[in-house]
Amino acid sequence: MPVSSAGGSSLTVTELLEHGDQYHQQPVSVVGEVADIATQIGPRKRLFYTFVLRDGHGSVSVIMQGKPELSNGDAVLVHGVFIKSRKAGRTTVTNRIEATMVRQLHDTHEPFVG
């Protein structure tokens, strides 16, 4: 069941993977936990980073331009274009989100007021 979020509904990683054909090359918003952050330098010395977005049952890779402002274990909302499978030179990219936004999810519980 999609989770309600600002700007629409989001998917879990498991839902995205289960319906990957439906979402291939489509904009998606996916919630999950960050793992394996790696910063790299691309063409023209542009900084980008990759990480694994996971939930209890699956994972996808995420690529985003810029410098990461998150840590392993953070809960995040990722918005971008999902690629189920695409040839990239001699390799094949599978189950990747080319992100345009990564936002940390903070505790949404209302504080107790006494």
What pLDDT digit, counting tens, does each position of 49-88 carry?
Answer: 999 999 989 999 999 999 999 999 999 999 999 999 999 8
* Sign for the pseudo-dihedral over CA of 9, 84, 45, 48: positive
Tell me what the pLDDT averaged over the chain comes to.
87
Report the C-alpha gap between 63 and 48 in whole angstroms.
Answer: 7
Q: Which of 32, 40, 37, 36 is nearest to 78 (CA)?
A: 32
Has domain 3-104 been given CATH number 2.60.40.1930? no
Give which of 32, 77, 39, 80 is closest to 57, Cα–Cα.
Answer: 32
- Domain positions in the chain: 3-104
Q: Residue 97: its pLDDT value, please?
A: 97
